[in-house]
Amino acid sequence: MNDLSNITLIGMPGAGKSTSGRLLSKLLNYELLDSDDLICQQYQRSLQNIVSEDGYMKLRQFEEQVILGIDVEKTVIATGGSAVYSPAAMHHLSEISRIVYLHVPYDIIADRIHNLDTRGLAKQPQQTLLDLYHERKYLYEKYADLTVEATSSAAEVAENIRVLVTGQAEI
């Protein structure tokens, strides 16, 4: 496991990676890098546009390329939910950060995700959110250094991650 140079958040869409990541970066006085935002900036397209025009595998390819190019320090990295499909990307992230899986039970994810067809998910066209959940859960667990239950508020999740990675409770 790596030192505290970076922290990478992985998990399902709707798990709170971006929201908790933003709060965690403030708690630690770190930068925040969102790999979905990087994809949109680098390719000048929305995630949904990439999926609609080029297919979900192209989005995964772009995601891998963007992640392999990440070279940062003291940064919270919020990944897209499909980052775990790339062993190369996950190896890179494990070399530069501690990987934290934000675990959320399926029923809560289903309540949080209402825009399945417009969110830009890297999934097969016929794949349901439940299919995706079952397919990815194993991968999140496989790559995680730490797992945090992310069913409470984003602020509580960020604080729980801070305590876990620093080993220091708030004074």
Task: Check whether 119 has a pLDDT greater than 80.
Answer: no
Dihedral (CA of 166, 168, 170, 171) sign: negative
Q: Taking the complete model, does pTM exceed 0.95, yes or no?
A: no
For the chain, give every domain's residue range: 6-166
Return the exposure string of 104-133: e unless at least 16 CB atoms fall within 10 Å of the residue's CB, then b: beeeebbeebeeeeebbbbbeeeeebeebb
Residue 101's identity, in one-letter code, is Y
CA–CA dist 41, 114 (Å, integer): 24
The CA-atom distances, in angstroms, between 8 and each of 14, 55, 83 are: 16, 26, 11
Read off φ and ψ for residue 99, nearest 5 degrees: -100, 125
Please give the class, per CATH, of domain 6-166.
alpha beta
Q: For 79-138, where are the E strands, in sequence order?
A: 98-103
Band the pLDDT of 2: cuts 50, 70, 90: very low
DSSP-assigned beta bridge partners for residue 146: 100
CA 73/CA 96 separation, integer angstroms: 8
pLDDT digits (tens, 9 = 90+) for 25-48: 999 999 999 999 999 999 999 888
Closest Cα partner for 136 from 161, 112, 101? 101
pLDDT, one tens digit per residue, over 61-103 is: 999 999 999 999 999 999 988 999 999 999 999 999 999 999 9
- Tell me, rounded to whole angstroms, the distance of Cα 130 from its chain centroid: 18
